Structure 1
Amino acid sequence: MENALPRLGKGAAIVESDSAPNATGNRRAKARLTCHPVDAAPFTVSGKTARALRLLATNSDGITPLDCIPTIMRLGSIIWQLRHRYGLAISTEMEPHEDGRHARYRLVSRFRLESG
């Protein structure tokens, strides 16, 4: 009988994704949010996009990619979706650090969130 788990290298870890089976083999429910922007039609997002939107909404100082590890690995892609697909206004500020720089994203749009 083959082992169902992937082989991992030294120091590697398995991080549960939105649809990964949990220890009992059941799938975990995706995070789901309905957003009601002041100046646009309401929309619903789920999974990593919903988690990123909740982080943006709850952190007035904004968020960086490091704030989201390990659950959201491609924050820039999710920010692009929230801007271009859903029409939210999100500012980007580049912050220097000793190894280079990183982006800090702040939500500018006003809206109401509803868990769903």
Structure 2
Amino acid sequence: MIQYANDADAGKPRFDPPLKAYQNTMPHDGKGIARIAFRASEGRLWAYRGKRARVLAMLATNDDGVTQWDCYPWHTRLAASVQVMRDDGIEIETTLEGPYRHARYRLRTPGTLTMQGDEG
């Protein structure tokens, strides 16, 4: 039987994309924010925590929209979060693009984003 050395014994660096994704935070991704609230221009307020909060922050700050690839690896079911936000009354547009018809989501409800820390 042939024995192979593992990557650490062979001196190869360990490839860990999820770890890298969590080390490189973006200012709009909501990481480290306890709650994100979105107030529509007519006054209605939505507040989310966790993955939905990060998705809402990305939708509110990216004019080009958000795709599943933008949320990988921390969120693998973007369409489910978008559907919950739609059910709550947030207007989100879906466009299909590319030869494989992947979805791009854009926030269509005008308003402002409020990020609140752990105390808020």
TM-score, normalized by length of structure 2? 0.66
In the aligned structure 1, how far is the partner of 2:105 from the partner of 2:85?
12
Question: Structure 2: any 5+ residue segments left out of the alignment?
Answer: 1-13, 20-30
Equivalence map 1:33-112=2 (5 Å): 33-85=36-88, 87-97=89-99, 100-112=100-112
Identity among equivalent positions (%) equals 35
What's the C-alpha RMSD, in Å, of the aligned pairs?
Answer: 2.4
2:35 aligned residue: 32
Question: What is the rounded CA distance, in whole Å, between the counterparts of 1:66 and 1:29 in structure 2?
Answer: 21
Larger radius of gyration: 2
**Cα distance between partner residues in 1 of 2:32 and 2:65:** 27
Which segments of 5 or more consecutive residues in structure 1 lack a partner in the other structure?
1-10, 17-27
Instruction: Give the equivalent residue in structure 1 for 2:24.
Output: none
Matches of 1:30 and 1:74 in 2, distance apart?
A: 20
In 2, Cα distance between equivalents of 1:29 and 1:107: 22
Structure number with the bigger relative contact order (C-alpha 8 A, sep ≥ 6) is 2
- The aligned length equals 92
* Cα distance in 2, alignment partners of residues 77 and 40 from structure 1: 25
